[in-house]
């Protein structure tokens, strides 16, 4: 009986140890599996990020190459280059691009505490000045940094002057790009406009610059009724 009792005790202890060892093994295996799964996810994420960066670099490289090819085509193709120059010229004339060059800057204002807008518009001083500058070779003009183009309006609105629907106030700053020698002849011998303005209390400050900057149109009226006629 004693031997039988000991045997039962030994078997019981072995079973308990077996169960404990099994539980520990399951815990270790489960932990390693979770850790391994996490490692795989991190590795996949890292590889995915690297692939994304590689794709971005390739896209940027392709874009740069396309720009290079377009530039090469424009440089190699004389007709295409001429067409591009023509387009740029028309964009400048239409007022869609900023320009700079030699020219003249005229500042008109009054030293008196009076509003000179009515005089400027009533006697057409501003309009006449713009037209005379065009006659003497002005290629691009602006009034108070508002570009003057073929469809520009200069009108009196109440007690102020509007340029393209935007009100301006003195000093009126007229800038023109063109031949400076021609502008000098205009100022010295080609007009009495400044003398007439002086009689009305309007002073003029005139200077010449090798780098007159004129900004593009801030807004443009849409063309609703104009249609191109096929020749």
Mean pLDDT across 67-85: 66
Residue 215 has, within 13 A of its CA and on its CB side, a CA count of 7
Residue 223 has pLDDT above 50, yes or no: yes
Q: Band of the pLDDT at 6, cuts 50, 70, 90?
A: very low
Task: Give whole-number Cα distances, 54 to 42, 45, 50, 57, 65, in Å.
Answer: 18, 14, 6, 5, 16
Give the pLDDT confidence score for residue 126 in this predicted structure: 92
Q: Given this model, what pLDDT does residue 25 score?
A: 47
Of residues 106 and 165, more confidently modeled: 106
> What 3-state DSSP class applies to 199?
helix
pLDDT at res. 179: 95
Q: What is the mean pLDDT of residues 7-30?
A: 52
User: Can you give the pTM of this predicted structure?
Assistant: 0.61
Which pLDDT score, from 0 to 100, does residue 2 have?
44
Evaluate whether 90 touches 160 at the Cβ level (below 8 Å).
Answer: no
pLDDT of residue 219: 65
Task: Give the confidence band of 78 by pLDDT, cuts at 50, 70, 90.
Answer: low
CB–CB of 95/216 below 8 Å?
A: yes
Domain ranges of the chain: 1-69, 100-214
* Euclidean distance between CA atoms 104 and 118, whole angstroms: 25
pLDDT band at residue 175 using 50, 70 and 90 as cut-offs: very high
Take residue 38 and report the two structure tokens written for it. Answer: 């996490």
Most confident of 12-21, 22-31, 63-72, 105-114: 105-114
Q: For position 16, what pLDDT does the model report?
A: 56
Q: Check if the beta carbon of residue 157 is closer than 8 Å to that of residue 167.
A: yes
**Residue 48 main-chain phi, psi, to 5 deg:** -65, -40
Stretch (H or E) spanning 121:
helix 117-122
Q: How far apart are CA 87 and CA 111, in angstroms?
A: 44
User: What average pLDDT does range 25-30 have in this prediction?
Assistant: 49
Q: What is the band of 157 on the pLDDT scale with cuts at 50, 70, 90?
A: confident
Better pLDDT: 179 or 22: 179
**DSSP H or E segment with residue 162:** strand 160-163
Residues with Cβ within 8 Å of residue 182, at least 6 apart in sequence? 136, 137
Report strand pairing: 99-110 vs 202-214: antiparallel
CATH architecture of 100-214: 2-Layer Sandwich (3.30)
More confident residue, 41 or 185: 185
Q: Which of 70-74, 120-124, 156-160 has the lowest mean pLDDT?
A: 70-74
Helix (H) or strand (E) holding 86: helix 78-94
């Amino acid at each position: 009986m004693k031997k039988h009792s000991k045997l039962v005790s030994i078997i019981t202890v072995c079973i308990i140890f077996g169960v404990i060892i099994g539980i520990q093994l399951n815990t270790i295996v489960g932990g390693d599996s979770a850790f391994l799964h996490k490692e795989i996810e991190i590795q996949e994420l890292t590889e995915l990020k690297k692939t994304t960066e590689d794709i971005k670099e390739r896209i940027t490289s392709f874009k740069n190459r396309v720009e290079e090819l377009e530039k090469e085509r424009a440089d190699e193709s004389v007709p295409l280059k001429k067409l591009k120059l023509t387009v740029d010229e028309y964009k400048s004339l239409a007022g869609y691009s900023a320009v700079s060059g030699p020219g003249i800057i005229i500042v008109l204002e009054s030293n008196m505490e009076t509003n000179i807008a009515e005089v400027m518009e009533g006697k057409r001083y501003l309009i006449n000045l713009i037209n005379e500058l065009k006659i003497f070779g002005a290629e691009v003009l602006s009034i108070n940094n508002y570009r003057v183009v073929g469809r520009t309006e200069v009108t009196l609105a109440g007690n102020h002057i509007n340029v393209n629907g935007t009100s301006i106030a003195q000093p009126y700053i007229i800038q023109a790009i063109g031949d400076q020698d021609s502008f000098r002849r205009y100022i010295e011998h080609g007009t009495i406009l400044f003398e007439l303005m002086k009689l009305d209390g309007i002073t003029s400050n005139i200077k010449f610059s090798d780098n007159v900057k004129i900004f593009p149109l801030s807004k443009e009226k849409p063309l609703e009724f104009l249609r191109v006629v096929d020749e």
